[in-house]
Amino acid sequence: MDYDRYDRIRAVQWQGDHLRLLDQRLLPREERWIDCADASHITQAIKDLAVRGAPAIGIAAAWGVALAAKQGEPLDEVLATLRAARPTAVNLMWALDRMKKRIAAGADAEALVREAQAIQDEDLAANRKMGELGAALIRAHSGVLTHCNTGSLATAGFGTALGVIRAGVAMGRIDHVYAGETRPWQQGARLTMWELVRDGLPAQLIADSAAAHLMKSGAVQWVIVGADRIAANGDTANKIGTYQLAITAKYHGVKFMVAAPSSTVDMATGTGEEIEIELRDPAELLSIGGQRTVVEGAQAWNPVFDVTPAELIDAIVTERGVIERPNSIAMQAMFGW
Ligand code: MRU
């Protein structure tokens, strides 16, 4: 795998005394960095989607705790505020629990910096492993469809679903990539296409509503998505629109893969029914790029994740291995509890 070609973006960068984030709200128009000087600034960046994507949120939060420790802030409060920043992606809670455990064990600020760095490094390694495992499931010369942004921007680097796609292209298994726009925030159009074009991968954007027509055409053999939380039975919360892709894939005989690190697996949550789905400001739906597109006075409902039942998933790929046709027993065998 030529990582120099396929793994060049680092959107979360520790600078020794602050955290630098590539502002995802401005891409692809502008590559502007935000320097977060304290944990509250990091919390705000998570809430506002300046940093987004389940693993990247967890990594940024871990750095928030390390930064707070260096600045002598009350860590219990910092942990609670960061935890409340967004509800669905469990990587946030997972990273904070890991930092909390180190604090309880008496770790000082420098030890917490090392822990945050370990969380970031392990995520990159997990993505590279998932790339190999996921790409191995795909037949040569396949077409794939992905949703949202699951690439370097959403992780420590390389990506989850996009990591599988990068590896699949590098290994000659994927000939063509389709990316859905991912309304309303357009992570697919604005972020995934930015990554794919930078890497020179053969990709085309589709409107979210073109997915069924695309699958019917026979051009895609796999839908490959990331995850924000995987329950103990394999039910998977991911960006809104994922569920309808899984239903459509099943109808058309297209395979459906979820790629996510084990930090996204939440064995304390029995099924997808128990996963809290983030509802965001309806205003995100009422305008595009700051331009109002809907009549004044209109209302909107804006859930930003949905749950795909395990029975619609052909493979869950984590760095620990692949679970085909996931269910509670297979999840328990791989992740224990
Ligand atoms: O609301 P976002 O942009 O943080 O949502 C991101 C997603 O849903 C991704 O698909 C998911 O986090 C997987 S990220 C590797």
pLDDT, tens digit, for every residue of 10-26? 999 999 999 999 999 99
Of 175, 183, 148, the C-alpha closest to 258 is 148
Give 147-184 pLDDT, tens digit per residue. 999 999 999 999 999 999 999 999 999 999 999 999 99
Residues 23 and 141 in one domain: no
Residues 151 and 203 in one domain: yes
Residues 305 and 272 in one domain: yes
Residues 69 and 157 in one domain: no
Give the whole-number percent of the chain exceeding pLDDT 70: 100
CB 164 within 8 A of CB 257: yes
DSSP β-ladder status, 305-308 and 236-239: antiparallel
Average pLDDT, the chain: 97
Among residues 124, 145, 166, which one ends one of the domains? 124
Among residues 74, 109, 124, which one ends one of the domains? 124
Among residues 124, 154, 179, which one ends one of the domains? 124
Which ligand 1 atom lies nearest to the CA of residue 187? Answer: 3
Dihedral sign for Cα 108, 113, 116, 117, please: negative
Residues 242 and 156 in one domain: yes
Residues 77 and 180 in one domain: no
- The mean per-residue pLDDT over the stretch 230-259 comes to 98
User: Does the pLDDT at position 125 exceed 90?
Assistant: yes
What is the length of the chain?
Answer: 337
CB 235 within 8 A of CB 311: no
Which ligand 1 atom lies nearest to the CA of residue 305? Answer: 8
Q: State the distance from the centre of ligand 1 to the C-alpha of 267, rounded, in angstroms.
A: 19
**Ordered strands of the 321-324 beta sheet:** 203-206, 174-180, 142-146, 222-225, 255-259, 315-318, 321-324
pLDDT of residue 318: 98
Residues 110 and 133 in one domain: no
CATH number of domain containing 21 = 1.20.120.420
Burial class (CB in 10 A: 0-12, 13-18, 19+), 183: middle
pTM of the model: 0.97
Spell out a b/e string for 143-154, using b for 16 or more CB atoms within 10 Å of the CB, else e.
Answer: bbbbbbbbbbbb
Give 270-320 pLDDT, tens digit per residue. 999 999 999 999 999 999 878 999 999 999 999 999 999 999 999 999 999
Residues 226 and 322 in one domain: yes
Measured CA to CA, the distance from residue 252 to residue 229 in angstroms comes to 26
- Please, which pLDDT band fits residue 89 given cuts at 50, 70 and 90? very high
Q: Which of 7, 123, 228, 235 is catalytic?
A: 228
Pocket residues: Cβ below 6 A from ligand 1: 52-55, 89, 148, 150, 154-155, 160, 187, 226-228, 238-239, 304
- Determine the Cα angle at 120 with ends 149 and 105, to 5°: 135
Q: Which domain holds residue 273?
A: 127-335
- Please, which pLDDT band fits residue 337 given cuts at 50, 70 and 90? low
Measured CA to CA, the distance from residue 223 to residue 143 in angstroms comes to 9
Phi, psi of 327 (to 5 degrees): -155, 180
Whether 228 is a known active-site residue: answer: yes
